[in-house]
């Protein structure tokens, strides 16, 4: 019988270094899912110490500030410790914010669970001449305290040794409130729970005295009796008083273990504070953010790094006599960026692999239709989309750098000024930023928001952000715009990211003034100190993204490629279409008379106003097909174009040959980046949205993307229409605002009337 692994739960406040510690302890063994019945992320992995032959299962609980059931994260953390019975809880504290972090520590102490405290970021304190006496704090808390640095992976084995040792020693809960004014009430309430045979009686008793909603739901009779204890003793507001007493006790006892001062008699600004004076500056913050985004896209998509080619550097002369890497690292136009170099390298490798496979199949007289099917599934499908993987991962890498360094938290703080006027707090911008990676976890993260209307509005606009799956479409269309129309490819990428952001802000404002009107919720957020990202954590993050993309490319994309091949190589009567010629003996365009072309031509009038419908010639119907398949998976947009074009290299000829206008192509890109997200995101939205809101949200996505794409097409192809469309847009926002003001005044008058009657 297999020996049961020790289960270690990691608990701590947001930004305390808990995730960094988890990644350092578990490495590649970590996996992510959802808690049973709750769409809150669950991270679990295995810690292995080969030297001491020790292993343990590590569970990363959501980052929370307390164990009160105000958010799903707090409920998950509390229920896991109480009901799943981990062998030990490792409570991670940010040593630079000791008072605030210790608040939750005092709540965990009230549970009958072994606990070890990890003092993280003590190395940052030491730089400022401050230290924390871990032994002294350990005596006061009554549990082991270990100083660590999760970022530098310092003293982690000592922490785990202490945790594994503590796991074998049961601990009874104790409360710092027992010595205060509510001591007698707590003892009586605890006795009631002990009589009822309920585990963790002290914790439940204190929650009952707080009239905790979760406790009231589980033990209504015991909560009622505990409230009677407070009433008999003529106590005050237990919940408010207990919070105040916790902080007073922490300041008067535990914080005394901290020794030294950075500078006597003079306030000293930390490095993070000095950097924040620039990066969160009211005027400079947003321009700096836009410059950072541009640099990211320049390093990912540019074929003229630092614009050396445009400045006149003669690359054909510089590299004369050494043409071996021409096209990979450089062209006559300039040096390729990192993203382009990696994409060229991978495309070269996959092209060689398919060429070898194709020659081998032809050598053994494989039927033409078999080679065509495999070519569509492997080369035109899987390999074509895989070619965008390097640029996607380069983007993920740079965004991970910004997030792990602490800069993204500042971006949320900066945009709070804008979002507050739109009816959302800056907290809503955090899941929106996650939408740049993937819409699924972004929508899940909206559960941290305060109100139902705020969650609904945020979920709706997350679809407008350019997720990793959409990067392939951006790269494909940007290449056409750069080659045929002379546009700058990295500016195209940046523009698409900004279009999503600006559209999200505009739609949030409209919803706040109309359907989702409510008082703006407060926004309180801790800004973590800046620090260098951990290379190992970055590598794990990038590996997870690569794994997920390849998995999707190997399943959905190959299935889509096979679907395209079958329906484009058979007529409606299911006759195979080999090579067809017209009456003059000239070869007809591929897929002529196919099922797929018939279907796409049938629905293409829908997109006629957007410039990529039945107004196109050649194989323009492929744009309609790409938009339809994009509803399943956004990677399928580029895959569909590549499949029809016979590979990524043929996309430009396909698009330009259709006769599409500049406005039509930009509208095609904007529509596919802002319309209904993939099926996985739709399923997540269904779980997160209030009942009955999914279909309204889908109609919102379709309507918004269609109108915005129409505006884009008209603006590019018929500039004179701006004299009509811009006044209409202004009139719409003015009307919505006037209606909003009228509704607010009506509610204020009603409230005043009810107050007067009272």
CATH number, domain containing residue 23 = 3.40.50.300
Retrieve residue 27's tokens: 């490495």
Q: Could you tell me the residue range of the domain that residue 413 belongs to?
A: 279-302+337-344+382-528+535-717
The β-bridge partners of 55 are: 48
Residue 377 included in any domain:
no
Retrieve residue 75's tokens: 């409920």
Q: CA of 326: how far to CAs of 322, 349, 486, 531, in Å?
A: 8, 16, 21, 39
Q: Please state which of the ranges 52-61, 92-101, 329-338 shows the lowest mean pLDDT.
A: 329-338
**Confidence at residue 195, expressed as pLDDT on a 0 to 100 scale:** 92
**Confidence at residue 166, expressed as pLDDT on a 0 to 100 scale:** 92
Residue 311 included in any domain:
no
| Shared domain check, 462 and 565 | yes
460-467 mean pLDDT? 87
What are the pLDDT digits (tens) for 380-425? 667 766 776 787 788 778 877 887 787 877 887 787 777 666 666 6
Distance CA 56, CA 116 (A): 15
| Shared domain check, 598 and 472 | yes
What is the average pLDDT value for the chain, to the nearest integer? 81
Give the phi and the psi of residue 337 in degrees, each rounded to 5: -75, 170
Q: Give 683's pLDDT tier (boundaries 50, 70, 90).
A: confident
The answer to whether residue 37 scores a pLDDT higher than 80 is: no
Distance CA 609, CA 20 (A): 50
Residue 186 included in any domain:
yes
Q: CA of 556: how far to CAs of 48, 388, 469, 681, in Å?
A: 35, 16, 12, 15
Higher per-residue pLDDT: 277 or 333: 277
Scored b (16 or more CB within 10 A) or e, 270-292 reads eebeebbeebeeeeebeebbeee
| Shared domain check, 605 and 687 | yes
Is 387 in contact with 350 (CB distance < 8 Å)? yes
622-629 mean pLDDT? 84
Sheet holding 31-34, edge to edge: 31-34, 41-49, 54-60, 6-12, 88-94, 115-120, 145-147
Residue 358 included in any domain:
no
| Shared domain check, 247 and 105 | no
- Has this prediction a pTM greater than 0.75? no
**Cα end-to-end span (Å), the chain:** 70
The answer to whether residue 150 scores a pLDDT higher than 90 is: no
Residue 745 included in any domain:
yes
The answer to whether residue 265 scores a pLDDT higher than 50 is: no
Name the helix (H) or strand (E) containing 602. Answer: helix 595-603
Work out whether strand 115-120 and strand 88-94 pair parallel, antiparallel, or are unpaired: parallel
| Shared domain check, 448 and 417 | yes
The answer to whether residue 127 scores a pLDDT higher than 50 is: yes
Query: How many domains is the chain partitioned into structurally?
Result: 4
**Confidence at residue 275, expressed as pLDDT on a 0 to 100 scale:** 86
Distance CA 357, CA 718 (A): 48
| Shared domain check, 520 and 489 | yes
| Shared domain check, 733 and 615 | no
How many CA atoms within 13 Å lie on the side-chain side of 336?
A: 16
**Confidence at residue 563, expressed as pLDDT on a 0 to 100 scale:** 76
Q: Answer with the one of 135, 166, 197 that is the final residue of a domain.
A: 166
Q: Please state which of the ranges 5-9, 148-152, 217-221, 440-444 shows the lowest mean pLDDT.
A: 440-444
190-208 mean pLDDT? 93
| Shared domain check, 573 and 515 | yes
The answer to whether residue 709 scores a pLDDT higher than 90 is: yes
Q: Answer with the one of 125, 146, 166 that is the final residue of a domain.
A: 166
CB atoms within 10 A of CB 340: 27
258 Cβ contact partners less than 8 Å away, ≥ 6 residues apart? 98, 130, 131, 132, 133
**Confidence at residue 263, expressed as pLDDT on a 0 to 100 scale:** 41
132-137 mean pLDDT? 91
219-242 mean pLDDT? 87
Residue 366 included in any domain:
no
Higher per-residue pLDDT: 332 or 715: 715
**Residue percentage of the chain with pLDDT more than 70:** 83
| Shared domain check, 553 and 637 | yes
Residue 363 included in any domain:
no
Is 89 in contact with 113 (CB distance < 8 Å)? yes
**Confidence at residue 262, expressed as pLDDT on a 0 to 100 scale:** 46
**Confidence at residue 36, expressed as pLDDT on a 0 to 100 scale:** 42
What are the pLDDT digits (tens) for 344-386? 888 888 888 988 988 898 888 888 778 877 876 777 667 766 7
**Confidence at residue 362, expressed as pLDDT on a 0 to 100 scale:** 86
512-529 mean pLDDT? 68
| Shared domain check, 131 and 94 | yes
Residue 328 included in any domain:
no
176-191 mean pLDDT? 91
| Shared domain check, 539 and 401 | yes
Give the phi and the psi of residue 557 in degrees, each rounded to 5: -70, -40
| Shared domain check, 713 and 725 | no
724-745 mean pLDDT? 89
Q: Give 172's pLDDT tier (boundaries 50, 70, 90).
A: very high
**Beta strand ranges found along 584-722 (DSSP E):** none
């Amino acid at each position: 019988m297999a020996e049961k692994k020790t289960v270690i739960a990691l608990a701590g406040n947001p930004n305390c270094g808990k995730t960094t510690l988890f990644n350092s302890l578990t490495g590649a063994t970590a996996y992510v899912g959802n808690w049973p019945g709750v769409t809150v992320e669950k991270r679990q992995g295995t810690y292995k110490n080969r030297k001491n032959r020790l292993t343990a299962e590590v569970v990363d609980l959501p980052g929370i500030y307390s164990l009160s059931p105000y958010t799903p994260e707090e409920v998950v953390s509390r229920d896991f410790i109480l009901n799943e019975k981990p062998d030990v809880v490792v409570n991670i504290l940010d040593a630079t914010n000791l008072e605030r972090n210790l608040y939750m520590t005092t709540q965990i102490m009230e549970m009958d669970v072994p606990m070890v405290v990890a003092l993280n970021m003590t190395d940052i304190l030491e730089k400022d001449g401050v230290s924390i006496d871990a032994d002294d704090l350990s005596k006061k808390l009554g549990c082991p305290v270990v100083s660590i640095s999760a970022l530098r992976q310092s003293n982690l084995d000592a922490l785990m040794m202490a945790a594994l040792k503590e796991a074998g020693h049961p601990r009874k809960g104790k409360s710092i409130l027992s010595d205060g004014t509510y001591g007698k009430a707590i003892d009586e309430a605890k006795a009631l729970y002990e009589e009822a045979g309920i585990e963790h009686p002290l914790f439940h008793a204190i929650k009952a005295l707080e009239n905790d909603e979760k406790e009231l739901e589980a033990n209504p009779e015991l909560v009622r009796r505990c409230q009677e204890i407070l009433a008999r003793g003529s106590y005050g507001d237990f919940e408010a008083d207990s919070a105040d007493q916790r902080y007073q006790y922490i300041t008067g006892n535990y914080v005394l273990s901290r020794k030294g001062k950075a500078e006597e008699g003079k306030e000293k600004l930390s490095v993070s504070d000095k950097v924040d004076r620039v990066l969160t500056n009211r005027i400079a913050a947003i321009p700096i953010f836009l410059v950072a985004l541009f640099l990211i896209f320049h390093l990912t998509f540019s074929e003229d790094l630092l614009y050396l080619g445009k400045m006149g550097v003669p690359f054909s002369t510089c590299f004369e006599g050494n043409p071996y890497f021409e096209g990979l690292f450089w062209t006559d136009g300039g040096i390729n960026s990192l993203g382009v170099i990696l994409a060229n390298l991978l495309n070269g490798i996959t092209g060689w692999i398919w060429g070898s496979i194709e020659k081998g199949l032809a050598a053994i007289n494989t039927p033409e239709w078999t080679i065509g099917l495999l070519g569509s599934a492997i080369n035109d499908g899987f390999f074509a989309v895989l070619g965008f993987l390097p640029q996607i991962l380069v983007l993920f890498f740079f965004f991970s750098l910004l997030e792990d360094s602490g800069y993204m938290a500042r971006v949320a703080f900066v945009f709070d000024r804008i979002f507050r006027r739109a009816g959302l707090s800056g907290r809503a911008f955090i899941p929106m930023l996650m939408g740049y990676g993937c819409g699924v976890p972004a929508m899940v993260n909206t559960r941290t928001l305060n109100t139902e209307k705020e969650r609904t509005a945020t979920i709706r606009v997350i679809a407008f952000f350019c997720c990793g799956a959409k990067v392939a479409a951006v790269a494909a269309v940007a290449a056409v715009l750069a080659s045929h129309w002379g546009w700058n490819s990295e500016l195209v990428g940046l523009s698409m990211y900004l279009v999503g952001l600006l559209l999200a802000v505009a739609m949030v404002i409209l919803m706040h003034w109309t359907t989702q009107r409510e008082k703006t919720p407060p926004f309180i957020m801790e800004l973590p100190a800046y620090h260098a990202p951990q290379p190992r954590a970055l590598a794990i993050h990038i590996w997870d993204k690569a794994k997920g993309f390849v998995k999707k490319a190997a399943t959905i994309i190959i299935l889509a490629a096979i679907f395209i091949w079958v329906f484009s190589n058979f007529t409606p009567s299911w006759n195979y279409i080999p090579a067809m010629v017209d009456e003059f003996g000239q070869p007809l365009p591929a897929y002529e008379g196919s099922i797929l072309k018939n279907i796409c031509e049938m629905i293409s009038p829908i997109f006629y106003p957007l410039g990529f419908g039945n107004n196109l010639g050649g194989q323009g119907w492929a744009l309609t097909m790409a938009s339809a398949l994009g509803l399943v998976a956004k990677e399928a947009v580029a895959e569909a174009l590549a499949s029809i074009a016979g590979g990524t290299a043929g996309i430009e000829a396909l698009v330009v040959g259709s006769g599409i206008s500049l406005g039509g192509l930009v509208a095609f890109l904007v529509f596919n980046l802002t319309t209904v997200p993939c099926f996985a995101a739709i399923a997540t939205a269904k779980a997160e949205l209030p009942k009955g809101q999914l279909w309204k949200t889908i109609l919102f996505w379709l309507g918004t993307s269609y109108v915005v794409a129409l505006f884009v097409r008209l603006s590019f192809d018929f500039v004179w229409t701006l004299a009509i469309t811009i006044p209409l847009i202004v009139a719409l926002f003015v009307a919505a605002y006037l209606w909003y003001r009228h509704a607010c005044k009506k509610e204020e008058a009603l409230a005043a009337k009810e107050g007067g009657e009272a």
